[in-house]
């Protein structure tokens, strides 16, 4: 067993919550990392005192990176070489696993050298976790970039409680089978005591695959390993710091900024809003087309309605993301060229990342929030919008293929592949009466405010804690 460190809770994720950037004056600075994983996990670590192991972006070497404290969190930065960024991060994580796990919306690529790099990076992260964790500590491993860490870590430190949570969808069995390294991935995950997914269907897929591909005995949500260990797979739908978002949305500066945003847009009757990482799974192209067609059909007028699309730059070295960026640039240009008027573009498009205050102001300024992924593990943007609407106003148009659709039943749910259906829903939300909006928003708010990310983490950690003690007593079928 490796010698142990001092952290009682260790988070392992590909990314740290902060990303290293070069500032305009050439000096190095930090900014919040993109994406839902960081939004969700950061408040948990702050509340629990623990250590977060992850990559700070870039290609600094190990000697240039020292552990540091940020806003009460102990951060341990992990170096990646330029080749590892290309093979492990851009390659295996984001050009193999990401499209495969999102319904092959883009075609996954399989390359053996990418896989080798994924293994090597996972091994290094596991070794670091083994070094940082105290005797008997809990290590919580996150997401698709780190699926081998649980088994690698267990080998080094059998004394630990190991949890794993997958933030993205777990694919249907038929798609997962395409992966040349399917068995190794399953065995990697089985190093955890508790494997968490967003939805129960995903947990069931996983258990079925383990039975079929690895040949272990399973019963309901339990997997029985030959060494006597039991692994549980279950759903834990993730959430946000709901009260934190509401508080931000209620604050004076955010309220003022929301009014300013509407004014800057020319005070249209209704503001549509899309907020996403610029990712091909999010259905941005289809939604903008649907909106433009409503104007072309004469159902909407640019004097009355504007679509604000905010897209965070993401994974810009990966080819599919470059293609998407060009496609969206061209589409927005064409729509505004054809349909906009002076001072009144049909689409206000921003390719940039904003502070949380600005996001909250945008949510408050928007009448119709449009969330249309082809597939999404949860989609926290939808929950953030709901949390910010303490006025019980605003409409949510939500893809039925987002995990959030299981909880946010009162949204206008759409199939993003069905453009006409999407157009009808956008129009219906646009024309909805206040009474209808209030009724729907109240119900969705109840769900989001009562199920926040603190409750999610408590439940996961509690069940992880309860498991180990019951393992020895568990009866095998």
By CB under 6 A, name the binding residues for ligand ADP: 35-36, 39, 275-277, 310, 312, 353-354, 359, 378-381, 384
- Residue 143 touches which of ligand ADP, ligand G6P, none (Cβ within 5-8 Å per kind): ligand G6P
- Residue 413 touches which of ligand G6P, ligand ADP, none (Cβ within 5-8 Å per kind): none
User: Site residues (CB under 6 A) for ligand G6P?
Assistant: 15, 34-37, 94, 143, 167-168, 314-315
- Residue 39 touches which of ligand G6P, ligand ADP, none (Cβ within 5-8 Å per kind): ligand ADP
At residue 65, φ and ψ (nearest 5 deg) are: -115, 125
Quickly list DSSP for 209-259.
Answer: HIIIII--EEETTEEE-TTS-EEEEEE------HHHHHHHHHSHHHHHHHH
Nearer to ligand ADP, 352 or 431 (CB): 352
Nearer to ligand G6P, 12 or 37 (CB): 37
Closest approach, Cβ 33 to ligand G6P, in A, equals 6
The answer to whether the CB of 395 falls within 8 A of the CB of 437 is yes
Closest approach, Cβ 286 to ligand G6P, in A, equals 20
Tokens of 261: 């945003």
Nearer to ligand G6P, 168 or 365 (CB): 168
The whole-angstrom separation of Cα 295 and Cα 99 is 32
Closest approach, Cβ 312 to ligand ADP, in A, equals 4
The whole-angstrom separation of Cα 439 and Cα 392 is 8
- Residue 378 touches which of ligand ADP, ligand G6P, none (Cβ within 5-8 Å per kind): ligand ADP
Which residue's entry shows tokens 């997962």?
A: 176
- Residue 380 touches which of ligand ADP, ligand G6P, none (Cβ within 5-8 Å per kind): ligand ADP
Which residue's entry shows tokens 């809003």?
A: 273
Nearer to ligand G6P, 150 or 345 (CB): 150
Q: Around Cβ 194, how many Cβ atoms within 10 Å?
A: 25
Nearer to ligand G6P, 97 or 261 (CB): 97
The answer to whether the CB of 194 falls within 8 A of the CB of 468 is no
- Residue 310 touches which of ligand ADP, ligand G6P, none (Cβ within 5-8 Å per kind): ligand ADP
- Residue 381 touches which of ligand ADP, ligand G6P, none (Cβ within 5-8 Å per kind): ligand ADP
Share in percent of the chain as helix, strand, coil (round to 5): 45, 20, 30
Nearer to ligand ADP, 242 or 353 (CB): 353
Nearer to ligand G6P, 145 or 336 (CB): 145
Q: Which residue is closest to ligand G6P by CB? A: 35
Given the DSSP bridges, would you call strands 73-77 and 28-32 parallel, antiparallel or unpaired?
Answer: unpaired
Closest approach, Cβ 440 to ligand ADP, in A, equals 20
Closest approach, Cβ 242 to ligand ADP, in A, equals 12
3-state secondary structure of 452: coil
Given the DSSP bridges, would you call strands 28-32 and 18-22 parallel, antiparallel or unpaired?
Answer: antiparallel
The answer to whether the CB of 245 falls within 8 A of the CB of 360 is yes
- Residue 15 touches which of ligand ADP, ligand G6P, none (Cβ within 5-8 Å per kind): ligand G6P
- Residue 275 touches which of ligand G6P, ligand ADP, none (Cβ within 5-8 Å per kind): ligand ADP
- Residue 315 touches which of ligand ADP, ligand G6P, none (Cβ within 5-8 Å per kind): ligand G6P
Nearer to ligand ADP, 190 or 359 (CB): 359
The answer to whether the CB of 290 falls within 8 A of the CB of 396 is no
Nearer to ligand G6P, 35 or 43 (CB): 35
Closest approach, Cβ 380 to ligand ADP, in A, equals 4
The whole-angstrom separation of Cα 118 and Cα 115 is 5
Note the helical H segments in 251-318: 252-264, 284-296
Closest approach, Cβ 249 to ligand ADP, in A, equals 12
Quickly list DSSP for 119-178.
Answer: HHHHHHHHHHHHHHEEEEEEEEEESGGGTTHHHHHHHH-TTSEEEEE--SPPPPHHHHTT
The whole-angstrom separation of Cα 447 and Cα 449 is 6
Nearer to ligand G6P, 192 or 222 (CB): 192
């Amino acid at each position: 067993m490796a010698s142990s460190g001092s952290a009682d809770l260790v988070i392992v994720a590909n990314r740290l919550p902060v990303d290293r950037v070069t500032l305009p004056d050439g000096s190095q600075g930090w900014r919040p990392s993109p994406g839902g994983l960081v939004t969700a996990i950061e408040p948990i670590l702050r509340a629990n005192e623990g250590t977060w192991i992850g990559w700070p972006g870039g290609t600094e070497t190990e000697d240039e990176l020292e552990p540091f404290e940020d806003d009460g969190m102990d951060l341990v930065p992990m170096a990646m070489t330029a080749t590892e960024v290309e093979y492990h991060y851009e390659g295996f994580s984001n050009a193999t696993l990401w499209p495969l796990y999102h319904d092959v919306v883009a075609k996954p690529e399989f390359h053996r050298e990418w896989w080798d790099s994924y293994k090597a990076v996972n091994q290094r992260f596991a070794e670091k976790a083994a070094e940082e964790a105290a005797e008997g500590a809990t290590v919580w491993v996150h997401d698709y970039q780190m699926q081998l860490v649980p088994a690698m870590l267990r080998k080094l430190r059998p004394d630990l409680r190991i949890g794993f949570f997958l933030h993205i969808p777990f694919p249907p069995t038929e798609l997962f089978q395409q992966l040349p390294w399917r068995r190794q991935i399953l065995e990697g995950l089985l190093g955890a005591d508790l494997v968490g997914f967003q939805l129960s269907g995903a947990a069931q897929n996983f258990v079925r695959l383990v039975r079929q591909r690895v040949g272990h005995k399973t019963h309901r949500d339990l997997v029985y390993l030959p060494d006597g260990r039991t692994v549980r797979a279950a759903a834990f739908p993730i959430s946000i710091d709901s009260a934190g978002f509401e508080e931000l949305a209620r604050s004076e500066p955010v309220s003022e900024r929301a009014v300013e945003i509407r004014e800057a847009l020319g005070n249209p009757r209704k503001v549509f809003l899309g907020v996403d990482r610029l990712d091909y799974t999010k259905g941005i192209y289809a939604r903008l087309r649907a909106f433009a067609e409503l104007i072309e059909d004469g159902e909407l007028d640019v004097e009355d309605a504007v679509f604000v699309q905010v897209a965070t730059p993401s994974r810009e070295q990966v080819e599919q993301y470059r293609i998407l960026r060009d496609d969206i640039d061209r589409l927005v240009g064409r729509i505004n060229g054809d349909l906009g008027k002076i001072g009144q573009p049909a689409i206000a498009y921003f390719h940039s990342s904003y502070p949380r205050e600005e996001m909250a102001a945008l949510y408050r300024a928007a009448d119709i929030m449009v969330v249309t992924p082809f597939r999404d593990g949860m989609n926290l943007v939808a929950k953030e919008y709901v949390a910010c609407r303490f006025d019980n106003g605003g409409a949510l148009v939500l893809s039925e293929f987002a995990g959030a659709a299981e909880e946010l039943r009162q949204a206008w749910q759409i199939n993003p592949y069905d453009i006409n259906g999407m157009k009808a829903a956008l129009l219906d939300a646009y024309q909805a009466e206040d009474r209808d909006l209030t009724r729907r928003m109240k119900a969705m708010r109840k769900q989001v405010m009562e199920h926040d990310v603190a409750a999610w983490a408590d439940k996961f950690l509690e069940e992880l804690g309860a498991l180990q003690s019951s393992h020895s007593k568990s009866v095998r079928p």
